[in-house]
Structure 1
């Protein structure tokens, strides 16, 4: 179901104060810059700025068009955007405001991207969108290899020469304008450092989350293209991508990928395709064999032995929940350091970030939106659609472990928009 918005008397008035250029096709270039331009945006050091600038441009273009449509479930995301503003009441200092602003703008920006793409079907068909997401995946994999080769290297972006030194002293700002290739971790007692690929993101967990959400998109492209050569090249690319993926030793990444693959196989079984059992068994056996032979399982267990990240997360989650009970509706607006754990509350997972920063209301709206779109787009028509749909499943599988930055949220929301738009217009997914 979709909700049409137009200036006519029997619909809600929306963006109606501007002289009309009614139904003029929305240009593709803002989305193309966001997706196909992602490698350049990262290399220029614009990752903290470009998403918001592009969102504002999209708003202007939609205002000029006037006639804008949103899918029905999008109103839940609008409610989350509104609630994030309400949570400003918890902000007391300038630094807290900056933390709130970054988190809120991620939610705001991806909401705008979703509405824009939903209304830009004349210029941005699904195969263009899938190609853009594939570009981000390829960037992630290539930089993953660069991280393995040069783990201590930091890219000197043009933006790093523009920002004042006071801002560069902020660790997060520095991670975006002087981005590292990898997280080099040397826990006490370990002989060899763990070089975990992170570029084009500040953290290895962000790399793993992006890989978990984007790899199903690669399989969507594989099943959707008609060129056998392209299919073979993409399959080989997925195999090659396993090297940096394994190096991240991200347990949550494997959980997300496993959930996506299990979902697609389950849907095939529901259609009576019993070959899925054989395919699933071969993939499972091959995956376990690769993880064992490559040393990934041993490395994950070894890192756990030295760092005890599971125990630390459990303590952080418990403390985050206890603090949220003290401000259950609006949360705290941004993360806060938990001194007895050594990690900020409101991090280490999307569920905990939303709960702590925007209260149980913000968390509930986010989960309601994701579950709703999962249900509303259940009746996929093709194998390609199943793979696109599995991105939502992968996201739900890892919301407790990983926090979604703007790119990861963009991947999730644009795949949702593809499913909802295809459902409305019969675009074949």
Structure 2
């Protein structure tokens, strides 16, 4: 088995090595750690190719920097003062946004030889298997937890913060009274149950692409088995957003299926639905649908978020806030006589609401425009990767109403975006016969060679090197693979693509 190229180790460490990050206490914040070597790779390969639409993400980051000016402000209907928790949350989100920017540029500037598309997809498939294993752990051993090394090293005033603790303290499941009694909701190896639900659906999409669309008979058989096993934690997650997302994915597959394969896919989905309906898991689904009490909590927090965001609609408040009261009482926080008086912070019920409170309506519009633009640009890509990536972009816009993108979810969203970008680069190179960061043409002994940077040389018997450097006068051109000579005069055209040289 060929080892990955050295430049690809950061993304491999993040996706394949995620269980280790989780056990150490880094979890989703590990993307910030691996972004450092990614940035080194980018620095050595500058200037950097930037995808269309990435300017919107950069504007989102710039807006978040401006929103930091409002950290000390308290909008009407909320309480709390500027403290360590608020500053930590702001800094962590800023670092995450920057790390994701680095990650996308890093992935798009690796060559197909260094990181083939299928390899990246299968890395996501490995993380899907890890997620299913964590979900089963949450179902079978919901009380499993331990103190991570990071948690041991951090001072109490940091590790004791509830938000930070969720990120650094590994647990198998959250025990909640969603069904009227204590029941586990799997969350391993992610930060909370809703993150598990969002991530497993996105990873399932890429798992099917890597193991079914690009897999042989054995991989396809394993794909069916593992997808079937995944239904157990998916149902026990009691996650209606996840269930709706899977229904949207099924509808998307049926709509975009080719006429020849559409009926077969529809028949297979119908057979799976019948088998599921005949099983014991349907009772749990029915109980969850009969207990929609969280709707009232969401209604209260979303309404309060909109009211607070209206007082700073352009730049928001930099971080979440706590509202007075909840959907049952004007009392704020849990007390001995009102155990249900607590409520989640404003902006914690979905990425859209988080952006509204942290960055105002401007930030929310930039986020929506970023992912909507990706759908528009890549909708015509009918390859398995193109269709899967477009589906993920659609799920992002659906999940922003019910799931936070932070911390791990945004990493998977942006990796999916990078896969779409890489696919488009590869398609463009194939059509134009030029080289891109994803397509490299090997040098030949004679004739004209196109370098990876897309440098073309003209003349008789001129060979362009990988760096696009040619010498003229005697018609001798030095290629990267060797030296080709020719007779006569040779005119060498060296374009500005010299800046595309990679070390």
Note whether the superposition's TM-score is higher than 0.5.
Answer: yes
Could you list the runs of 5+ residues in structure 2 that have no partner in the other structure?
73-81, 327-342, 431-437, 439-503
| 113-122 vs 332-341, which moves further | 332-341
Cα offset for 1:303?
4.5
User: Residues 394 and 287 (structure 1 numbering): CA distance in 2 closer, same or farther, change over 3 Å?
Assistant: farther
Cα offset for 1:242?
0.6
* Mapped pair 1:110 → 2:120: no
* Mapped pair 1:240 → 2:229: yes
Aligned length: 399
The superposition leaves residues 86-119 of structure 1 with CA deviations (integer Å, 9 ceiling, x where unpaired) of: 1111112243221212222222221211110000
- Helix, strand or coil for the counterpart of 2:322? strand
> What is the CA RMSD across the aligned residues, in angstroms?
2.3
* Mapped pair 1:165 → 2:156: yes
Match of 2:41 in 1: 61
Match of 1:32 in 2: 12
Cα offset for 1:206?
0.8
Counterpart Cα distance in 2 of 1:261 and 1:351: 24
* Mapped pair 1:348 → 2:349: yes
| 416-425 vs 42-51, which moves further | 42-51
Contact preservation (8 Å) 1:103, 1:334: no
TM-score, normalization: structure 1? 0.87
Q: What does 1:136-285 align with in structure 2 at a 5 Å threshold?
A: 136-186=127-177, 190=180, 192-268=181-257, 271-273=258-260, 275-277=261-263, 279-280=265-266, 282-284=268-270
User: Residues 343 and 161 (structure 1 numbering): CA distance in 2 closer, same or farther, change over 3 Å?
Assistant: closer
Match of 1:322 in 2: 307
Cα offset for 1:395?
1.8
Cα offset for 1:204?
1.0
User: Residues 384 and 365 (structure 1 numbering): CA distance in 2 closer, same or farther, change over 3 Å?
Assistant: closer
- Helix, strand or coil for the counterpart of 1:311? helix
Cα offset for 1:327?
0.8
The superposition leaves residues 199-247 of structure 1 with CA deviations (integer Å, 9 ceiling, x where unpaired) of: 1123111110001111111111134324211111111101111101110
TM-score, normalization: structure 2? 0.75
Cα offset for 1:321?
0.8
Larger helix proportion of the pair: 1
Could you list the runs of 5+ residues in structure 1 that have no partner in the other structure?
1-24
Contact preservation (8 Å) 1:209, 1:402: yes
Match of 1:424 in 2: 425
